[in-house]
Structure 1
Amino acid sequence: MDFSNVPQSSSPELSSVESESADTLVQLAKETKQQPFTTNGSLQKTLEHLQRALQQDQTSDQYLVFTSVPPAQHSKLSDDRSRTSKYSRLSYNAETRILIAKVMPNPAHELAIRLFDELISFELRAINVRREVKPLGSTTVTVGNWKKEADCCWAPDLTNPRRLSFVMEVGLSESARRLALDARGWLETYSSSVKLVVTIGIKRETPEIVFHRWELISREYGVQTRSSPPQAHRTAFLKLSRTNNATIITGESYLNGTITATTQLDLSFDKIVNRPPHQPLERDLVVSEQELRSFAEDIWIGQGLL
């Protein structure tokens, strides 16, 4: 593939994320406010304080980093019965004892997760692979040295449900760079099985939602067929907004060195199901323009913007 002429991002922030090659979760931790762990109760209070600040529009930064977090504390925090797990997603490195927390700012984000999950389930049923791909929600999985929770994820191998293929992350549009680092973390971290990531950025004060599709792209760097490790790149962009009381969708897909205008979200069958399609109904998953429009309008109603 020749991606040399493809504008991988319309945002300088995302372009810089795509050009970085170090551990992106480490990079995310470095760029985020850090504080040392003291007690489980103190950590929970800090996260709850951030959630309130997000809800009251006092900040747009969803991420916090805690250092020196014991593994046992991470286990308690990530337990489904923990109140922390209901409004935050955690990434934890047991070797460095770094904990990255992404706090969900309001119910609209939870609604986005549920609606997107429903759209994917509908498509999996339509192409007759619903029993072959398992939805795992925010299940904690291991990628490299990290234990991570996605907002929503899917695994194609029912005998090994921790081997994810597809992940979705949602956040504030103001957190676009950190969402991009999160996407790269899923795709590029050593031993990760994830092949496809969708990030959804929701603007808080105006009706605007941005979808990014991220995939691993191999790049040749030697004349004798030696290739560099695949890197994550944005391969599609969709923006949903309101103009004259109508929902407008604009977008581009970047594949095989070609830029194509699009108003739908196409998701590779091979990368989600982990095999090529071979039955009559099997095809790439498609979230249509109408489905995207309904998705966005439901979110905006939840935000009080419609």
Structure 2
Amino acid sequence: MDFLHSISNVPPSSSSELSSVESESTDTLVQLTKETKQQPFTTNRSLQKSLEHLQQALQQDQTSDQYLVFTSVPLKQHSKLSDDRSQTSKYSRLSYNVETQILIAKVMANPTHELAIRSFDLLISLELRAMNVHREVKPFGSTTVEIGNWKKEADCCWAPALTNTRLSLVVEVGLSESARRLALNARGWLETYSSSVKLVITIGIKRETPEIIFHRWELVSRGYGVQTRSSPLPAYRTAFLKLSRTNNTTIVTGESYLNGTITATTQLDLSFNKVVGRPPHQPLERDLVISEQELRIFAEDIWGEQNFL
């Protein structure tokens, strides 16, 4: 499995797209723009039409590519597009570089995408409430935040309440066919200079078969290499979970990496310290856990929306 190779740093016999993402040292958000067809900005209306056409193509299964990149986009146009009152903001997530004026748009494919976001948001909220720390961590949805030269929107995100929008946890949902771009986005959240993000969860949803892939991404010290001011630590996947359907039964399989050890797991664990911004010190406080049963329900809700059940 490529996950094993990614955390042991042993090159796989046949390279996978995600392992290649982890080995790249370039600015991953810049890399994302290079791997996506770019088109120059002309007018706000023209840009919106391009996004609408992509949304329609995704809904009609004419493409699996969720991303568009626009060059020379004025800052004021990005502000209009990302405004909550803008129609564009309702079905796309924007990343904008104020220095290069490059805009990356991730278009949400269909209602399944939105259902996954809302369902996972609820799971995190329930965990925070179970530990009575929900007032310490604020949900910020797709709020635009600044990291380095970028203004970015996540599918959903959270931040310790005292830090305002200094995000700690980010979730990105996408089509599994866009796994590499989801991975580049995850690394961008973690590695970009001045980012406060500690954890990123990517959720890849297949459209042709009932299968969902979770990855947990974190900044991980490898004890070698040159650390720089702009990227003090590299981001790696530290957990992999696969949800699939066989003989009318939902199966959860996965692996987690911790302190150099690989262990099998069927639940998604999130560090309390990294999410809340402090160590646990009350009896109820512990790492956040999305259990196997909760993952099954999450998956079956998605597959119901996709007409697989």
- Which TM-score band applies after superposition, normalised by the shorter structure? over 0.9
* Identical counterparts, % of pairs: 81
- Report the TM-score when normalising by structure 2: 0.94
Aligned partner (choices 87, 92, 112) of residue 91 of structure 2: 87
C-alpha distance in structure 2 between counterparts of 1:11 and 1:179, whole Å: 17
C-alpha distance in structure 2 between counterparts of 1:7 and 1:288, whole Å: 30
> Unaligned stretches of 5+ in structure 1?
none
Deviations 1:58-95 (A, max 9, x none): 00000000000000000000000000000000000011
C-alpha distance in structure 1 between counterparts of 2:304 and 2:47, whole Å: 33
Aligned: 1:130 with 2:134: yes
Amino acid at match of 1:201: G
1:37-52 matches, within 5 Å, as: 37-52=41-56
C-alpha distance in structure 2 between counterparts of 1:176 and 1:285, whole Å: 25
2:250 — aligned with what?
A: 247
1:153-302 matches, within 5 Å, as: 153-156=157-160, 158-221=161-224, 229-302=232-305
> Unaligned stretches of 5+ in structure 2?
1-5
C-alpha distance in structure 2 between counterparts of 1:276 and 1:39, whole Å: 49
Relative to structure 1, the CA distance from residue 107 to residue 4 in structure 2 (aligned partners, 3 Å threshold; closer, same or farther) is: closer
Aligned: 1:29 with 2:33: yes
User: Does the 8 A contact of 2:136 with 2:162 survive in 1?
Assistant: no
Which runs of at least 4 in structure 1 moved beyond 2 Å after TM superposition?
Answer: 3-11, 219-222, 226-229
Relative to structure 1, the CA distance from residue 292 to residue 7 in structure 2 (aligned partners, 3 Å threshold; closer, same or farther) is: farther
Deviations 1:233-269 (A, max 9, x none): 0000000010000001110001111110000000000
C-alpha distance in structure 1 between counterparts of 2:165 and 2:217, whole Å: 20
Deviations 1:204-233 (A, max 9, x none): 0110000000000123227xxx85621000
User: Does the 8 A contact of 1:8 with 1:235 survive in 2?
Assistant: no
Q: Secondary structure at the match of 2:222?
A: coil
Q: What is the Cα deviation at residue 6 of structure 1?
A: 6.2
Q: Which protein, 1 or 2, shows the higher relative CO under an 8 Å CA cutoff with sep ≥ 6? A: 1
Q: What is the Cα deviation at residue 161 of structure 1?
A: 1.7
C-alpha distance in structure 2 between counterparts of 1:11 and 1:106, whole Å: 31
User: Does the 8 A contact of 2:21 with 2:180 survive in 1?
Assistant: yes
C-alpha distance in structure 1 between counterparts of 2:114 and 2:147, whole Å: 24
1:45-60 matches, within 5 Å, as: 45-60=49-64
C-alpha distance in structure 2 between counterparts of 1:6 and 1:246, whole Å: 34
1:101 — aligned with what?
A: 105
- Report the TM-score when normalising by structure 1: 0.95
2:3 — aligned with what?
A: none
User: Does the 8 A contact of 1:94 with 1:145 survive in 2?
Assistant: yes
Amino acid at match of 1:168: V
Number of residue pairs matched by the alignment: 300
User: Does the 8 A contact of 2:27 with 2:188 survive in 1?
Assistant: yes
Aligned: 1:113 with 2:117: yes
Amino acid at match of 2:168: S
Q: What is the Cα deviation at residue 42 of structure 1?
A: 0.3
Q: Secondary structure at the match of 1:260?
A: strand
Q: Secondary structure at the match of 2:163?
A: coil
